[in-house]
Amino acid sequence: MLVADSGSPFAPVPQQPQATPPDLHRFAFHGTGGALFALVLKNMVLTLVTLGIYLPWAKTARRTFLWQNIEIAGHRLRYHGTGRELFFGYLKLVLAYVVFIGVAITARRLFGETAAAAIQVGLVFVIMPFVPFVIWGSRRYLLSRTSWRGIPFRLTDGAGTFAKTFFVGTLLTILTFGFYSPVFANRMYRVFMNHTGVGTKLFEYRGDDRSVFKIGVKGILLTIVTLGVYSFWYNAEIARYRAQHTWFDGAHGEIKLAGVDLFALTMLQVFGLTFTLGLAFPWVTTYTLRFMLERLTFIGPIDYAHIYRAPSEGNAVADGLADALDLGTAL
């Protein structure tokens, strides 16, 4: 039997195992400015004609449009909220406002302007401890009404942890003249992400406070020195860090975003809205979503077959109150 000489030019070349390319889960946005403009125009007309009653349905229609045009790994989001549930949530808020105003008016008549002002300030301080719970409740509602691949998102119980993080972070940020703010934001993001899931699978944020603090100190100082110009590069670096350390199953995020990208996008938003007196809002909105989502991917294996449905609940009142207090958070 002949054996090929390994030194011969005719000897077989050993095959090197080829590396399997990582799984890529891409994001995209398919909505157009024209379609959103038509929807906004319709919502404005119906809201005016109904003296504001149509507002909850207008809000729901806008969310439905945006959600159904966001594609993640070949599947689009779906929004399942209804105008009816928002409407009844708003009614409860109106009743609360009536009580609030009624107490102030009664106090003014019985005790005078000074006492009424003191009572109003006291009521504001009564509301303040509920702020983080309102933020949490609003996000929980939005996630519970959002699905992907037919499976609802959810926010698990964690409002107490979020509230503690919120109050401690606010205090430390004030005491450190803002230098604690990067760590504060990082911890808030961690609480949100570690309690957010699609069905039975939760996201996980692995970023650490020390790394973010280093990025933050550099970013704050350079932003001050450059009179705010460096803020775009700082925000881009934070976005890249967060994405890279955000995991879902076996995949982590990645966003290809540079400071110059954020600078150009912000200039487009400012000048586009200013020179058109806001009429370009639908086009600016759709372009911004497309711009950001096309730069975002998740890299690595995700076992879709083992993502199961899980209980997901949310209250429309919290969503309405977040809007009233301007505390809404994006998904």
Each residue of 169-223: pLDDT tens digit?
999 999 999 999 999 999 999 999 999 999 999 999 999 999 999 999 999 999 9
pLDDT score recorded for residue 8: 54
pLDDT score recorded for residue 11: 54
CB neighbours of 141 closer than 8 A, spacing ≥ 6?
81, 314, 315, 316, 318, 319
pLDDT score recorded for residue 2: 46
Q: Quick one: average pLDDT of 237-247?
A: 98
Residue 93 has pLDDT above 50, yes or no: yes
Please report, in angstroms and rounded to a whole number, the separation of the first and last CA atoms in the chain: 69
Confidence label for 22 from pLDDT (cuts 50, 70 and 90): confident
Residue 103 has pLDDT above 80, yes or no: no
**Higher-confidence position of 39 and 88:** 39
Confidence label for 20 from pLDDT (cuts 50, 70 and 90): low
pLDDT score recorded for residue 60: 95
pLDDT score recorded for residue 3: 47
Q: How far apart are CA 63 and CA 85, in angstroms?
A: 14
Q: Write down the domain spans for the chain.
A: 24-71+78-324
CB neighbours of 264 closer than 8 A, spacing ≥ 6?
none
Q: pLDDT averaged over the chain?
A: 89
325-329 contacts: CB < 8 A, separation 24 or more? 325/131, 325/134, 327/131, 327/134, 327/135, 327/138, 328/138, 329/135, 329/138, 329/139
Residue 165 has pLDDT above 90, yes or no: yes
Q: How far apart are CA 311 and CA 153, in angstroms?
A: 9
* Structure-block tokens of residue 203: 């996201």
